Amino acid sequence: MKSMSPFPVQIYHLFSSIRLAVIVLVLLAVDLCFAYISLNGRESLFDAMNRQSIWVWINSYGVENIQYTAWFFALLFLLSVLVLNTLVCTGDRLWKLIRRWRTAGANRQFCFSMSTHIMHLSVVVILIGYLLSYTMTRVSPSLTVVPDLPTKIPGTEISLELIEMKLPAYEGSRLQPFSGRVIQPEILLRMMSHNESRTAWLGFNKPVRFLGHTLFLQKFSPRSNSSTMSLSRYIVIDVRNDPGVLFYFAGIIFFLTGMVGLVFFRPVRRCST
């Protein structure tokens, strides 16, 4: 610390301030209000981000539609500040906590404070996961798979085969427009590579993971068993190789651990009789 020049010290103090966190959170709320206005009917601009790296998106959609994407750039900036702020604040307080632990040992208060920091750090882990997702994910969008004809995922040795489609028609009465339509298809897929092969059921809310790739159902046909439109049987899937997923799960597990610690080690108030 002593070797630091005044400017880095100023920066350090700025990022270790709780006030900064409050300001950033307020600005995030303001920014999301702008997002609400900008997004109206322009979701497809951002939908493209799911299919390409964020750098490609920024250089194309992002820059070309700056009046609608400005809030997103501001969001990136604010989240970066929030991550730095969280890291510095948590690091600062964690260091003090560890020093206290060295002298006084672990007690209930220590575990309680530690749980809070674990929750803060887990948010950072989740945000890093998002950063990895948007910068390093490889996507094969709109891959059509039909029965009896294996489809290869581009750039891999993985082949997909559609084995069976369960298309139960909606028979409830609450969603009248969907009467007789299929809204919850279940697709049995076989995934094959040189060394491994397995089958799994794929659905809209049930993606399938195979050798680091996640398969998401995008659309299917036929939409109803009595459809007068296309009766051809096929599914369209998006395949993502997303290194951020592990970070999300790790972050969520850390967060839950911290939350359990927070409840379990909360300070006990003793009532005096």
Enumerate binding residues for another protein (CB under 8 A).
14, 19-20, 23, 27, 30-31, 34, 38, 41, 44, 48, 51, 59-61, 64-67, 70-71, 73-74, 77-78, 141-142, 144-146, 149, 151, 154-155, 177, 221, 230-234, 236
Radius of gyration of the chain measured on its C-alpha atoms: 25
Q: Under a CB-based contact definition with an 8 Å cutoff, are residues 218 and 225 in contact?
A: no
Query: By C-beta, is 13 or 166 nearer to another protein?
Result: 13
Cβ of residue 208: shortest distance to another protein, in angstroms? 19
**Dihedral angle, C-alpha 14, 261, 250, 26, nearest 10 °:** -40
Query: By C-beta, is 36 or 264 nearer to another protein?
Result: 36
Cβ of residue 265: shortest distance to another protein, in angstroms? 33
What stretches of the chain show up as alpha helix (H) in DSSP? 6-15, 18-39, 43-47, 54-57, 63-64, 66-104, 108-136, 244-264
The first and second tokens of residue 40, run together, are 């109206």
| Phi, psi (deg, nearest 5) at residue 238 | -105, 135
Query: By C-beta, is 146 or 259 nearer to another protein?
Result: 146
Cβ of residue 60: shortest distance to another protein, in angstroms? 4
Query: By C-beta, is 67 or 273 nearer to another protein?
Result: 67
The first and second tokens of residue 13, run together, are 């103090």
How far is the C-alpha of 221 from the C-alpha of 203, rounded, in Å? 13
Query: By C-beta, is 77 or 95 nearer to another protein?
Result: 77
Query: By C-beta, is 51 or 100 nearer to another protein?
Result: 51
Q: Under a CB-based contact definition with an 8 Å cutoff, are residues 84 and 15 in contact?
A: yes
Cβ of residue 27: shortest distance to another protein, in angstroms? 6
Cβ of residue 26: shortest distance to another protein, in angstroms? 8
Lookup result for tokens 């489609």: 165
How far is the C-alpha of 79 from the C-alpha of 82, rounded, in Å? 5
Cβ of residue 203: shortest distance to another protein, in angstroms? 19
Q: Which amino acid is at 115?
A: S
Query: By C-beta, is 10 or 109 nearer to another protein?
Result: 10
| Phi, psi (deg, nearest 5) at residue 152 | -90, 140
Closest Cα to residue 191, out of 182, 201, 181, 183?
A: 201
Cβ of residue 21: shortest distance to another protein, in angstroms? 11
